Amino acid sequence: MVMCIKYRKKMLDRPGYSEKLADIINGIGERYEFEIEELGTDGDHIHVFVGASGRWAPSNIMKVLKSISAREMFQTFPEIRKQLWGGEFWSDGGYIGTVGEGTTVEIVRKYIREQGSTETHGSYRQMDLFRKG
């Protein structure tokens, strides 16, 4: 899944923001029994490689992740509301891809790990917010 911050603002390269978001998403994963495999950001969006039981539609997983994480980020960092004029943390929609024919778990993990330009990696680095294995 790819979820973009509203207005593609580079919020997650600020001290403490990406780490808090990782904690929130991992907490959501534990609470809802989602398996968070990989988590990474370039500052203005987040990649989440997540697994869940068949009773969860991918769009519902995204809805849960976005709604709870936005609420908790606003509670922790109230100044975000002023920076994201409309008071919404995430942009509408997002991208959902699935692992299947031609796309393996390792391809998705590698893609998430290699996000960002060389310049980005050097300045604040692609944030490996959470990595298993």
Residue-wise pLDDT for 70-79, tens only, equals: 999 999 999 9
| pLDDT score for 42 | 85
Alpha carbon distance 62, 60 (integer Å): 5
pLDDT tens per residue, range 23-46: 999 999 999 999 999 998 889 999
pTM summary value:
0.80
Q: Could you tell me how far CA 75 lies from the centroid of its own chain? A: 18
Closest CA to 47 of 71, 72, 25: 25
Q: Which two tokens stand for residue 120?
A: 């980005």
Predicted confidence (pLDDT) at residue 130 exceeds the cutoff of 60: no
How far apart, in Å, are the Cα atoms of 118 and each of 21, 30, 58?
Answer: 24, 33, 31
2-131 CATH, one of 1.10.3720.10, 3.40.50.880, 3.30.70.1290, 3.40.50.720: 3.30.70.1290
Domain boundaries, the chain: 2-131
